[in-house]
Amino acid sequence: MRKITIAIDGFSSCGKSTMAKDLAREIGYIYIDSGAMYRAVTLYCIENGLLCNGQIDVEKLRNEIDNIHISFRPNEKTNRPDTYLNGTNVENKIRTMEVSAHVSPVAALDFVREAMVRQQQEMGRQKGIVMDGRDIGTTVFPDAELKIFVTASPEIRAQRRYDELKAKGQDVDFDDILENVKQRDYIDQNREVSPLRKADDALLLDNSHLTIEQQKEWLAEQFERIAGQ
């Protein structure tokens, strides 16, 4: 089988990350969660006083962006990669509602995207990678051999995120999450730089009513069809 690049794009909370992580582990590829990188930049803003009254200090961030380095290292307990911000493990800190509430405007800044896309392309130079995000098939790896665009209804996605946060012991409200999901969809699709859209050659996967097993099977078929060519 040849080594390929797999780009998985789609709306927030539609299970892209879980699906991409599981696929990468099964086929022995590297997995990169590009959303985690924008979350880590947002956490950097929160922790370093670049977010005041809900507004990002864009000029300060522009000056500091080259000092923000994101990497991934395997976590032996979870068997999945954890996100590191300038050498510190931030895997849990980047998944809070506070980060979720501020990440879209950070991810919409052109200089933030340029810096992250550069880091992502470097990570994927050798192929054998599964990367998920919003612009992987359109901007980061336009030549990826396998592109998938994932979607599910906003209510189903909000329920999945609610269950995930509750399981982690966070005190959350379903309506707040649904509102956050819808707001992020709007910003992701309407921003000027790299708006979320399906690449013309991406396969569409609506997983609203699919089980994890059905989705895995479908994904394995697509991988074998393309990598086996």
Our finding on whether 83 is near ligand DC (CB under 6 A) is no
Our finding on whether 22 is near ligand DC (CB under 6 A) is no
The window from 20-28, 45-53, 131-139, 170-178 that contacts ligand DC (CB under 6 A) reads 131-139
Our finding on whether 11 is near ligand DC (CB under 6 A) is no
Our finding on whether 137 is near ligand DC (CB under 6 A) is no
**Helices (H) and strands (E) in the chain — how many of each?**
8, 10
Our finding on whether 4 is near ligand DC (CB under 6 A) is no
Q: How far is CA 163 from CA 14, 90, 150, 189, 210, in A?
A: 13, 21, 20, 25, 17
d(CA 164, CA 174): 12
Among 21, 39, 147, 157, binds ligand DC (CB under 6 A): 39
d(CA 16, CA 10): 7
Our finding on whether 91 is near ligand DC (CB under 6 A) is no
104 versus 215: smaller Cβ distance to ligand DC? 104
Half-sphere exposure of 194 (CA within 13 A, CB side): 24
Q: Give the 3-state secondary structure of residue 157.
A: helix
Our finding on whether 134 is near ligand DC (CB under 6 A) is yes
Beta carbon of residue 83, minimum distance to ligand DC (angstroms, whole number): 10
Q: How far is CA 145 from CA 4, 5, 26, in A?
A: 6, 6, 18
Q: Name the nearest CA neighbour of 104 among 154, 54, 171.
A: 54
Cβ pair 223, 215 in contact under 8 A: no
Q: Name the nearest CA neighbour of 138 among 41, 14, 40, 8.
A: 8
Beta carbon of residue 199, minimum distance to ligand DC (angstroms, whole number): 13
Of residues 59-78, those binding ligand DC (CB under 6 A): none
Among 43, 56, 68, 103, binds ligand DC (CB under 6 A): 103
Per-residue contact flags (x/-) with ligand DC for residues 175 to 214, judged by CB under 6 A: ---------x---x--------------------------
Of residues 104-123, those binding ligand DC (CB under 6 A): 104, 107
27 versus 94: smaller Cβ distance to ligand DC? 94
27 versus 113: smaller Cβ distance to ligand DC? 113
d(CA 80, CA 84): 13
Q: Give the 3-state secondary structure of residue 24.
A: helix
Which residues form the interface with ligand DC (CB under 6 A)?
Answer: 12, 34-35, 38-39, 103-104, 107, 133-136, 184, 188
